[in-house]
Structure 1
């Protein structure tokens, strides 16, 4: 898809305007209700759908299909980010009324950093077609790693600060408590960070780790930097509302890692096939409609099986609890008879 500089500028200005509206509507710190989160989640998904349809009307059907495949993939991978966001919020004991501000700025930082990754990835792909082999192998390795983590009984219960974050805290210092929405304060004549600023940086920089697999994944679906960037932008900007909307549902998505591993492995195979095709080897390539069908199908199946498994687990826990109460009641009855 041939994208002019003017279209790039208009797209960035349009996204900036949407972000500004989102910011000013929710600029006052408050606890986000399910209704508010639901409305804004629908708004961002609807905007993404309109953008994809616009690509079909004013561009090509292939560009539209690539956008929707990329958006759904990035959205599903972003849901996995929410698990870590929950850990970060708990680690820093972020007050509930400040969490929406943390996520907004944190996601903006993540979007800027991803834009750098996308530009670098596009430049590498344009110069070295063999990089598809590396991307494909990396995605298949990531898929295998996700399965290993999902099968492991060990759970990550605490967020560990990365080296960059630790160095920033050491360099500037951090206040011992939150000061509303302030990012910096003066203490003993020195300007130091507030915990709110630290959490925002934690959200933004931690997302870089997720970008290491999500960016190669979307380049496996399209090599158009414009589509890659816009799909990432729409997926990330609705993440804040999704955090509040499905926060309680996250624990029920017990098979999400398996689903994401299948998607990443599938795209990894697609990349390897594409790389072979580029080197002159006659192999079948996986089309965008097939990719879109596989991605959506895996997500639907994963969600259904997760909810079924969570329901059965809850029923077993309830049955065990009733059994324990019954045994305690029986022991109490025996004691009373003996007395």
Structure 2
């Protein structure tokens, strides 16, 4: 799909405007009196529905202007990236619990995380698009990487390695070596002067940890969506709409985090499916008589897999889930502040 530059600019500008409106309504940045507020379930549900709604409307707009194939690629990409963003939420949940972020500041941390994720994914989309245009065999690499990622997800799930200490990453340790870290939060400030010396606050440490996580997830998610469409505009918008509303979804699903225990299996299955699809496409492009998987089939498989895994998690999960007792207790503790 040939997208003019002004459409790109208008799309990015509209998304930035939506984030600013979200920030203005939810966070009241102009009001020093009210300060940050806790995010309620009802408010989160309305905003989550709003973001899903505009993503669906955008897809119908693509259908009108670009046709059913373009819209199908967008919806398949959006659902895949939204599913992967739920996996982001599990890690964000562990990070926020590990740093004991007060509940009234959690939506600010998540907003920064979303902005970082958008920048990271935009960067990798640009690289991926150039690589695909220059070398079609890159689909072999992307496909193999996705299958490897799926195997790693299952291995981590079976070996119970999913509750890794994300609060002690290499980047976090480097920050601690360069600057002293304050023991307590000082509002939403990232630095504070204590005893005549500049300290970084736990708020900055949380953002560093989430930034590293966003980088890792960008490496995983971008090859996945390029397996569904090669159009950079669709790749970007599907990613962006999947990330918009992520912080509202976090508060909406917070109480279900420990019950979505089968989500890893669903994501692994989708990764394998898309990986095989990419390898078949690469073989077809190189002259081999192999079948290709259509966009419609991809959409049905992705929706079906995620529906089955979510329903199975809610019906048969024993409650152990992916979130350990330590993180749950930390969340309950900060929620009561």
TM-score by length of 1: 0.88
Query: Displaced runs of 4+ in structure 1, greater than 4 A?
Result: 311-314
For 2:226, which of 209, 214, 219 is the aligned residue?
219
Alignment partner of 1:92 out of 93, 99, 120: 99
Shift of 1:195: 1.4
1:65–1:20 Cα change, 3 Å: same
Q: Which residue of 2 aligns with 1:318?
A: none
Indicate if the aligned counterparts of 1:256 and 1:302 stay in contact, CA closer than 8 A: yes
How far, CA to CA, are the matches of 1:245 and 1:20 in structure 2?
A: 21
* Equivalent residue in structure 1 for 2:135, among 128, 141, 160: 128
DSSP-derived class of the 1:192 partner: strand
In the other structure, the counterpart of 1:24 is 24
Among 60, 65, 72, the alignment partner of 2:67 is: 60
CA distance in 1, matches of 2:167, 2:182: 19
- Corresponding residue number in structure 2 for 1:11: 11
For residues 86-165 of structure 1, the aligned pairs below 5 Å read: 86-153=93-160, 156=163, 158-165=165-172
How far does residue 239 in structure 1 lie from its aligned partner after superposition? 1.0
Take 2:128 and 2:200, find their aligned partners in 1: how far apart are those partners?
33
Residue 294 of structure 1 corresponds to which residue in structure 2?
A: 301
- Structure 2 contact 280–290 (Cα < 8 Å) conserved: yes
Kindly state the Cα deviation for residue 251 of structure 1 after the two structures are TM-superposed: 1.2
Distance of 1:228 and 1:79 partners within structure 2: 18
Query: Does 2:54 align with 1:43?
Result: no
Contact 2:99 2:167 in 1 (8 A): no
Instruction: Label 1:26 to 1:313 Cα distance change in 2 as closer, same or farther (>3 A).
Output: closer
Separation in 1 of the partners of 2:111 and 2:235?
21
> Could you tell me the TM-score, scaled by structure 2's length?
0.89
Contact residue 258 and residue 319 of structure 2 kept, 8 A: no
CA–CA separation in structure 1 for the residues paired with 2:176 and 2:132: 36
**Cα deviations by residue, 1:165-196 (Å, 9 ceiling, x for unpaired):** 32233324322211112222233544432211
- Give the whole-Å Cα distance in 2 for the aligned partners of 1:312 and 1:240: 23
Describe the SS at the equivalent of 2:300.
helix
Identify unmatched segments of 5+ residues in structure 2: 28-34, 322-337
CA RMSD for the aligned pairs? 1.8
Q: CA deviation at 1:151?
A: 2.4
Conserved? CA contact 1:107–1:236, under 8 Å: yes
Unaligned runs of 5+ in 1: 315-339
- In structure 2, what is the Cα distance between the partners aligned to 1:100 and 1:288? 35
Q: Distance in 2 between matches of 1:124 and 1:161?
A: 33
| C-alpha deviation, 1:62, in angstroms | 1.4
When structure 1 is superposed on structure 2, of 24-33 and 164-173 the one drifting more is: 164-173
How many residues are paired up? 314
Describe the SS at the equivalent of 2:254.
coil
